[in-house]
Structure 1
Amino acid sequence: MLIGTFGGAVSGRIDGTRPGLGLRHPQHDRPLRQHRSRKITTLRLPEFGAPGADLQQEYADALARGITDAAPQTCGWIVDLRDNTGGNMYPMLSGIAPLLPNGPAMSFRPRTGSAVDVMVHDNGAGMGGEAEIKIDATTKITDQPVAVLFNDMTASSREAVATAFRGLPNAASFGTPTAGYTSANSVHRLPDGAVLVLTGAVYVDRAGVDLAEQPMPPDHPTTAEEAPTAALAWLRERGCAAA
């Protein structure tokens, strides 16, 4: 359903003969990598399109289990969103929910009408009172520092994940500005097989800042390649040093 007027950065018509975006299966591109010597866990979140419910659930479960398993040996986290061009945000938001406090993480604001909150729960994230994709309820890990990495290829729903960490006292971002596709879109299939994508709302962060379909700047600007090094230094400053 289109929840507002349209005409944003990702609005447009996709020809029906154009190949679809590829999907990286969670088993082939694992979302978890741990730097055990530094007690720092890096969560690499590969792009994820709009596959069936089983793959969405598998992605969210793999990410949430990885966080839970790594938590006892971890004092700081890196969430790597670089080179992630979008797709379905809910497998990622539900999977990353153990690192986010319960309550509103961001909202969608249409041109007219009320904003709709995206809520984090013990068992995932979604709009309204329940998670869109449910994970096993886990203990929250919201007292440890989280460094978020992004670049100009971090787009659309992946910018939603970055938005969910904006304004948290234990989080900071590193890299280059994102792509600026911070909007909610509806997809309409036309009779000739083409797909029409319409923008209906923009992202608003937890502090009420309208991201206005502009690139999201990092808290600590670096090159995309230098972002991990800067994030590790920031984590060390917060007491998460090499063992």
Structure 2
Amino acid sequence: MGEIHAPLAAAVEAAGGKHSFLLEPTEVERWSVSALDEFSAPTVTTADGITTVTVPAVGAVSEEMQRHYARTAASGIVDAADQTCGWIIDLRGNTGGTMYPMLSGMTPLLPNGTAMTFRTRTGADTPVTIYEDGAGIGRTAISVGVVTKIADQPVAVLQDAETASSGEVVLASFRGLDNIRSFGTNSAGYTSANSARPLFDGALLVLTESPYVDRNGMSLAEVPILPDYVTSPENAEETARAWLQDRGCN
């Protein structure tokens, strides 16, 4: 079956867009191993009233690891709330992976309801929803437990050219909210949901199905998400801190 991989990969790239691809069986195995090796939980740190939450990429790891990831972020945010007047969500370098632990971890800072939507070519919408205890489609996928919502505090979101795919889901979910601004460079533009289809020989066919639509109904289909404030990646945090301080967080 291996002889069909090259023409199939070419067809997938031509017809499926830049977010579609074919993984050879050996690549699938390496992909699974690297997801474990590269797993990193979020960090939550507070300095001068500003709490920074790093949101790293998370690959195809176990549900237990996904829960650990999400609960580390959510509990860290809730625990820091009393000492915090403004927030920085750092999505720089987040190349994507599994969106549910990322979004569930952000539950304290996102209002309940539709955060963003996947829209098919025929116009059918699938909303991604924030619940009291996490995020999911139709129901909570990864629960962090019922958390206290933190409202009316400014949030700065950092992005760069490596913020991609599920990282862009988180980025899109903050768009359109009051007191939210983004800083950095254009995101990668892998703004679409994929479905994975295992092949008989162990290869994996990954196809784009549904581009993203933000909470205001704007299509983000396969284009980079632009920041509100353009800065170099290395200056994004400093600029974000200045913006938070201008809003009384000092």
Q: TM-score, normalised by structure 1?
A: 0.92
Q: Which residue of 2 aligns with 1:146?
A: 155
Q: Which residue of 1 aligns with 2:168?
A: 159
Q: Which residue of 2 aligns with 1:219?
A: 228
Q: Secondary structure of the residue that 1:84 maps to in structure 2?
A: coil
Identical pairs, percent? 52
**C-alpha deviations, 1:141-188, integer Å up to 9, x for none?**
021000000100011000000000001111000000011000000011
Q: Map 1:168-187 to 2 at 5 A.
A: 168-187=177-196
How far residue 35 of structure 1 moved from its aligned partner, in angstroms, is 3.0
Which of 57, 66, 69 in structure 2 is aligned with 1:56? 66
Cα distance in structure 2, aligned partners of 1:177 and 1:24? 28
Segments of 5+ residues of structure 1 without an aligned counterpart are 1-5
Segments of 5+ residues of structure 2 without an aligned counterpart are 1-14
Q: Which runs of structure 1 show a deviation greater than 4 angstroms over 4 or more consecutive aligned residues? A: none
Q: Secondary structure of the residue that 1:125 maps to in structure 2?
A: strand
Larger Rg belongs to: 2
C-alpha contact (below 8 Å) 2:112/2:132 kept by paired residues: yes
2:77 partner amino acid:
I
Q: 1:216 to 1:24 in 2, by over 3 A?
A: farther
Q: 1:25 to 1:123 in 2, by over 3 A?
A: farther
Count of equivalent residues: 233
Cα distance in structure 1, aligned partners of 2:94 and 2:126? 25
How far residue 29 of structure 1 moved from its aligned partner, in angstroms, is 3.7
Q: Is it true that 1:71 corresponds to 2:81 in the alignment?
A: yes
Which of 4, 25, 35 in structure 2 is aligned with 1:23? 35
Cα distance in structure 2, aligned partners of 1:23 and 1:69? 28
Q: Which residue of 1 aligns with 2:11?
A: none
Cα distance in structure 1, aligned partners of 2:231 and 2:114? 29
Q: 1:168 to 1:24 in 2, by over 3 A?
A: farther
Cα distance in structure 2, aligned partners of 1:74 and 1:83? 25
Q: Secondary structure of the residue that 2:70 maps to in structure 1?
A: helix
Q: TM-score, normalised by structure 2?
A: 0.89
Which of 24, 29, 33 in structure 1 is aligned with 2:44? 33
Q: Is it true that 1:11 corresponds to 2:20 in the alignment?
A: yes
How far residue 8 of structure 1 moved from its aligned partner, in angstroms, is 2.7
Which of 114, 121, 124 in structure 1 is aligned with 2:124? 114
How far residue 41 of structure 1 moved from its aligned partner, in angstroms, is 0.5
Cα distance in structure 2, aligned partners of 1:83 and 1:66? 21
**C-alpha deviations, 1:99-151, integer Å up to 9, x for none?**
001111000000014201111111111112x2111111111102100000010
